[in-house]
Chains A and B, each alone.
Chain A
Amino acid sequence: MVAESETTAEPNGWVGRSIPRVEDAALLEGRGRFIDDLGVRPDLLHAAILRSPHPHAEIESIDCSAARAADGVFAVVTGADVKALTASLVVGVKAPIECWPIAIERARYVGEPVAVVVASDRYRAEDALELIEVTYRPLPAVVDPLVATGAGAPILHPAVKSNVIGERTFRYGDPDSAFASTPHRIRVDVHYPRNSCTPIETYGVIAEYDPGDNSYDVLANFQGPFSLHPVMARALKVPGNRFRLRTPPDSGGSFGVKQAIFSYVVLISVAARIAGRPVKWIEDRLEHLAASVSATNRVTTLEAAVDTDGRIRALAFDQLEDCGAYLRAPEPATLYRMHGNMTGAYDIRHVKIRNRIVLTNKTPTGLNRGFGGPQAYYPLERLMQRIAIELNLDPLDVIRRNLVPANAMPYRTASGATLDSGDFPASLAAAIDAGKLGELIARRETARAAGKLYGVGFASVVEPSVSNMGYITAALTPEERRRAGPKNGAQATATISLDPLGAVSVQVASTPQGQGHRTVLAQVVADALGLRPQDIRVIADVDTAKDGWSIASGNYSSRFAPAVAGATQIAAMNLRERLARVAATQLNVAPADIVFAGGRVAARANLDNALPFARLAASAHWAPGTIDSDLGQTIRETVFWTPPELTAPNEADEINSSLCHGFIFDFCGVEVDRLSGAVRVDRYVTMHDCGRVLHPAMVAGQITGGFAQALGAALFEEYAYAPDGAFLSGTFADYLVPTSMEVPEPVILQRESPSPLTPLGTKGVGEGNCMSTPVCIANAIADAMSLTSLDLPATPTKLAALIHGRQNEPRVKS
C-alpha cells in the first residue's frame, strides 16, 4: 500500500490522508515524556519487588529485619501489610477465591510478589531484597490445564475444592439435531500456547498517599480499560474520587499488556502509604516476562457437523481456558470477548459451547492484542482446512461455501453479534486476484517438484472492535446477571475547547501507546471546523480527577477509530453547529448557509462575507453577551457516545459482544527447511475491510505491526513452563521476539465498507492479524508437511522432530 504524504490544501478534507504524525518530532529528538522521564517530588523513594522462586509454596515466615535495617531502606512491605490496608481485587466469577497483588501466605506462580522494599534508590532497594529471609514450604504445582482439572491435581485455592472455577454451557439453534442429521463430523484438538506482545517499555508506577484526606494519587502507564479504576479504588478501600489516576503523555507500546499493571498500582500505592513518601517502581524486563501478564493458553476441542459439499451445519466448542494462578480482572474476558462471533466469518446457525475456566500455577492472564481472537480462530480455521482435506475439497471452496453472503448484512450471528457491514465473498475474490494466489500455488508446485516442503495456508476472520462492557457478564448465568444488574455499552468521550485566542484543543481519554491518536483527531476536528490539523492541539492522556472518562475509556478492543474518533467527530459537529448560529447573526445569513473553510467562517453565497474562525471562536470568552442566551456557551463541548446496539446479554445468552466487525482474508506461502525445521514465510497477503480509513499509513502500520507479533506467536514465542512449574522464558534470549531478519513485509490489500453504526463509518483495525495470522501460517505449515494437527509455536525444534521422527523432543507446557 502506498502512503501519500503531501500536506497541502484540503479539497476533500484531511481525513483519509496520510499526514505526518504530530507525535513524531519529540519522539525522534529524545524529548518523549514516558513515565520514567517525568519530574518527580524530591522526597521520592524507589521500590523493588522480591518474587517467589516457587510455582507453589506456603510462605511459612518472612524475616525482614535485616532488610529494614539496611542503608537507605525506608520500608519493607509484605502480604500481611497489604492485606491489612486493602481488600481483595474483585474476581469476575462467583467462586470463593481472592486475588491480591502480592502473595498472602501462599505463592502460586513463579514471580509472584512476596515483599516490596522501598529505599532511597533502586540499587539500594534491590540490595535489600537479598536480605529478606523467606521460609517456603514447597507444594506440588500444576501447569497443564487438563491435568489441573483432574482428580488428585494440586488445588490452588482450597476454598474452591477444584481448580475449575467457572463453567457455563451455551446452546444456540438446535445443534444436536444438526449433528444427528448431517453426514460428516470433523474435529480438531488444539492447545493454544501462552504468549505476550511484550511492549518494549515495561510497567511504571509512581504513587503517593495523603493521610490527611485518605487519598491516593497515582501516575501509571496504564492503558485502560478504566473499568479497572473502581476495581483499584475498592481494593484500596477509598471512594473513586480519592483515587486519582493519571497516565503519562507517552507510553512505549502496550498491546493490551499494560492493562494488568493495575495490580501493581494497588501494591505500590500501599507501599507509598506505609513508607509515608511517594514511591516509584519501574518494572525490569525479567519481572515483566515472568510476572506481568500473559495471554491465556486454551485447550479446545472443536467439532463440526458438515455436509458433503463442505457446508457447516453446526459447531460444538469445548474450551478450557487457563487463566493462571488467580482470576484477575477483567478475566475471564478473554474467553468471552469473541462470544458473539464464535462462528467467525461464516453463516452457521447451530452452535453449542462449553466454557470452563481453570487455574494453574502460572502468571495470571489478561489483555493481549487480539484478545481471545487467536485462541478462538486457531481451532476454527484449522477446522476449515481439515474439512477440505477430509472431504477432499478445495479449501477455498469450503471457505466460500460458508462465508456470510453480502445480501445477509447486517447479519445476526447465532450467538447474538451483529456483523455490521461488508461483502466477504467479494473481499475474498479481490484478495485472490490482487494478491496473486495463482502465482503462489504455482510456486508451491515448483518447490515441491524440487523436493521442498512448501505449503499454502488460508484464514478468514471477522475482527471485532469496540467491546460491549456487558459481554463479560455472559460468564454469569442469566439468574446471576439479573441479581447483579445489567451491564452494557461502551461510553466514549471527547471534549473540545476554544481558548481566548480562538485556538482549538481536544481532550480524549484514549491513552495511546504509539497509535498516533493525536494526529488522527487533529484531522477529524480540522475537517469539521475548516481548520488545518496543525491548528488543533490534542491531549490523549488521562487524569481521572479532571477529565471526562467512563469505565469504557482507554485503549483496547480497537475502539479508537470507531468510538473515540467518532465521539470527537460528534463533539466537533455540535460545536460547529452552535458556532454557525453565532456567525449567522453576525453575517446576517441563516445558520444553514454558514460554511467553515480555510480558517474562516463565511456565508455560502458570498464567501467574502466572512469572519476569521479564531475571532468567532474567541467571542464566547470576550463577549458572551453577544451570544444568544439559548445557545448557552460555545467555549467547551463534551460528548459521551455509546452505541445503542451494545445491549446486555439476553435471557438466551445472546450477546452483541462488539459493535463493529471488520473482515480479514489472509493467505500465505511458507517453506519449511527439511534439515532445520525453520519456517520461512515466502509471501503473506492480508486483505482488510476495516470500514472507512482515517489515515492509510497508520492503518498499514497497525497491520504490519500486528502481523509481526502474530508471526512471533506462530513461530517462536511461548511463555513456557517446565512440568514442575519452573518458568523457562525469563529473558529475551529465551522468549524470542522476532527481529527484522524474520519478519517479511506483508502485502496489504484493502476494501472499505463503512460501518453504518459508527459516526465516521470506521471500524477497528489494530488486532486483526493477531487473530488471522497465527492460524494462516499454521495452515501453510500443515499443508507443507501434511500434518493433521499442529500446535504453536511452530519452532524449528518442534518441526525438525516431526520431519525426522524424533521422539525425544523436550516437553514443555504452557
Chain B
Amino acid sequence: MPRLMAASSHRVSFTLNGRVVSGEAEPRMLLSDFIRHVLGATGTHVGCEHGVCGACTVQIDGAPARSCLALAVQVEGADIRTVEGLAPAADRLSPLQNAFRDNYGLQCGFCTPGILMSLDALLDERPNVSEAEIREFLSGHLCRCTGYASIVKSALAAARQRREDRVYA
C-alpha cells in the first residue's frame, strides 16, 4: 500500500456494480461516506457508524461487509456491489427484491439495502438455507419497523425462487 498522507486526498478506484469508478478521498474517509457522497450512490445507508446496525452493508469481493467500518482507501481495486447493483434491469427486480415486495419485508426501507446485500450473499452460499440459519444471519442487522417476521419470510421465499430459477435455467 502506498504511503498515505493524512491531510491530503488520494485517488481511489474500484469496481462498483460492474463499473470502474474513482474519486478523491482523505485517508480517514469511511467507505460508506465515499460511496454515498463522493460517488453519489445513496442506496447504501448509514444507521450507526459503529458497526452494529448493518444498514451500511455492501459486498466487497463477494462477501458482505460493513462499509462504515472500512476506509475508502482500503478497497482500492476491489469489486464492490451495493443495492443499486441487485436488479437485473431498471424496471425489473431480482428474485430477492421481489420476495421482499411480495412479503412486505420492508416498511421504511432504511435497513433494507444492507439486509438485501447480506441475504444475497447468504443465498448464494447456502441455497437450501433454513429459517434458523436466516434468523441467525440476520441478527447482524437491526430493523426497527418490521419485527423481522416478514424479512425472514421474504428470505425464505427468495431462496425458494432462486432454487426454482436454477432448476429451469
Interface-side segment among B71-79, B108-116, B122-130, B161-169: B108-116
| CA–CA, A733 and B52, complex, Å | 7
> Which chain B residues in 49-73 approach chain A with CB under 8 Å?
49-50, 52-53, 55
Alpha-carbon distance between A700 and B145 when the two chains are bound, in angstroms: 12
Whole-angstrom CA separation of A708 from B87 in the bound complex: 30
Q: Are A743 and B108 in contact (CB under 8 A)?
A: no
CB-CB under 8 A for A732 and B42, given A30-B83, A708-B148: no
Question: How close is B137's CB to chain A, nearest CB, in angstroms?
Answer: 8
Min distance, Cβ B99 to any Cβ of chain A, angstroms:
10
Q: Which residue of A lies closest to B112 (CB)?
A: A27
A-side contacts of B48, CB under 8 Å: 285, 731-732
Q: Which of B9-59 contact A (CB under 8 A)?
A: 26, 28-29, 36, 41-50, 52-53, 55
A202 at the interface (CB under 8 A from B): yes
Q: Which of these binds chain B: A18-26, A441-449, A646-654?
A: A18-26
Q: Which residue from A3, A202, A252, A733 sits with its C-beta under 8 Å from B104?
A: A3
Name A24's closest neighbour in chain B (CB-CB): B101
- Tell me whether A28 and B100 are in contact in the complex, defined as CB-CB below 8 angstroms, given that A201-B47, A701-B146 are known contacts: yes
With A36-B42, A201-B108 as known contacts, state yes or no: A29 contacts B86, CB within 8 Å. yes
Chief secondary structure at chain A's binding surface: loop
Closest to B99 in A: A28
- Among B108, B134, B151, max chain A CB count under 10 A is at B108
Residues of B within 8 A of A285 (CB): 47-50, 53
Give the distance to chain B from A194, nearest Cβ to Cβ, in Å.
Answer: 17
B143 adjacent to chain A (CB < 8 Å):
yes
Interface check A638, CB cutoff 8 A: no
Contact residues in B for A739 (Cβ distance below 8 Å):
138-142, 148
Chain A CB count within 10 A is highest, among B86, B142, B144, for B144
- A731 with B110, Cβ < 8 A, contacts A704-B146, A741-B139 known: no
Q: A residues within 8 A CB of B97?
A: 28-29
Q: Do A707 and B106 touch (CB < 8 A)?
A: no
Residues from chain B with a CB closer than 8 A to the CB of A629 are none
**CB nearest to A702 among chain B residues:** B107
Cβ–Cβ < 8 Å partners of A250 in chain B = 108-109
Q: Given A200-B47, A201-B45, A705-B144, does the pair A27, B109 have CB atoms closer than 8 Å?
A: yes
Ranked nearest first, the 5 interchain pairs of A and B with the lowest CB-CB distance are A30-B43, A514-B108, A252-B110, A27-B109, A708-B147
A interface list, Cβ under 8 A from B? 3, 5, 18, 20-21, 23-25, 27-32, 34, 36-37, 123, 197-202, 250-253, 255, 284-286, 513-516, 697-698, 700-701, 704-709, 731-733, 737, 739-741, 743, 745-746
20 additional A-B pairs beyond A28-B97, A705-B107, beta carbons within 8 Å, are A3-B104, A23-B109, A24-B109, A25-B101, A28-B109, A29-B84, A32-B109, A197-B144, A200-B143, A252-B47, A285-B47, A285-B48, A286-B50, A513-B108, A514-B108, A705-B145, A705-B147, A708-B148, A732-B48, A740-B139
Q: Jot down 19 A-B pairs with beta carbons below 8 A, ordered by A.
A: A21-B101, A25-B101, A27-B109, A28-B97, A29-B83, A29-B97, A30-B41, A30-B44, A34-B110, A123-B26, A200-B53, A201-B47, A252-B108, A285-B49, A513-B108, A701-B150, A739-B138, A740-B139, A745-B147
